Structure 1
Amino acid sequence: MTGKLSADRAASNRPARTDAGGSSGAIAWFEPIACELRDIFTSKVAAETAFRAAVDISTAERWLAAKTAPQGEALARLLCSDIGDRLHAALIENVQTPWAQARRAELARARLLREREEIERRLAALGSP
């Protein structure tokens, strides 16, 4: 028993998406990450991003131009890469939930501890009074 489920229709002349090529709310979440990528890599940002996400450079260029955003596996690769800690911090930068605030505090504490260790190392190198 096979049959058509719907009547034949003429193709629509309207585009399926009206936001194609422009920045929409659906991809605006990636902007802080794109800014962080530009800060990390002062040259060849798209190539460095593409390498870490295992995508074509043209795909990374579209991400950086806010035309599309990474999804699924590509986003996971970015967050698990050598710069993932900075990208994760950028991703949750404007999140105002308790877990995000706790994570930001944890990151700030870790940064301050690293700075203190560096200062102690430099003081030790100068010698004890």
Structure 2
Amino acid sequence: MTPRIARHCPSSKKAARSDAGFSGDCAWFEPIALELRDIFTRNTAKETAFRAGCDISTAERWLSGKTAPQGEALARLLCSDIGDRLHAALIENVQTPWAEARRAELMRTKLLREREEIERRLAALEGNKK
């Protein structure tokens, strides 16, 4: 018996997703692109290209949703000075135990830093009273 082959259907020219210009295989990069725009309000493509080790025109295509970084460029972004924020953006909507634990650890670290800052400011105020 020969296997059945599905009948050929023409490909749609319309994207399955259209979130801020992101569609198809590039939609996973949207949260990172939004975070990059938030971090670098000016010269976003230039700053992204510097950290990814690519051309500015390539970074502009990533940010517009036409393409997404692959392999070494993505690794360079995640290992850069802003990698922690990009990693958090990447796992933002992941609903697995490891991602939830990572988000909890990030929140814990953020709250501890805030507490240290508040304690430092309180100590400075107490020092001014005397």
TM range (shorter): 0.7 to 0.9
Q: Does 1:92 align with 2:98?
A: no
Give the CA RMSD over aligned residues: 2.0
How many angstroms does 1:26 deviate by?
1.0
1:39-58 correspondence runs (5 A) = 39-58=38-57
| Structure 2 equivalent of residue 117 of structure 1 | 116
Which AA in structure 2 matches 1:44?
Answer: N
Q: Which runs of 5+ in 2 are unaligned?
A: 1-12, 16-20
Q: Which runs of 5+ in 1 are unaligned?
A: 1-17
How many angstroms does 1:24 deviate by?
2.6
1:7-46 correspondence runs (5 A) = 23-46=22-45
- 1:81 counterpart SS class: coil
- Size of the aligned set, in residue pairs, is 113
Contact 2:48 2:59 survives alignment (8 Å): yes
Return closer, same or farther for 1:19/1:75 CA change in 2, 3 Å cut-off: farther
Determine which structure has more spread, i.e. the larger CA radius of gyration. Answer: 1
1:71-90 correspondence runs (5 A) = 71-90=70-89
Contact 2:22 2:30 survives alignment (8 Å): no
Question: Quick one: distance in 2 between partners of 1:32 and 1:77?
Answer: 17
Question: Quick one: distance in 1 between partners of 2:39 and 2:73?
Answer: 18
| Structure 1 equivalent of residue 8 of structure 2 | none
How many angstroms does 1:87 deviate by?
0.1
What's the % identity of the aligned pairs? 81
Displaced runs of 4+ in structure 1, greater than 3 A?
Answer: none
How many angstroms does 1:106 deviate by?
0.3
CA deviation string 1:29-77 (max 9, x = no partner) = 0000000000000100000000000000000000000000000000000
Q: Answer 1 or 2: which has greater helix percent.
A: 2
How many angstroms does 1:19 deviate by?
7.4
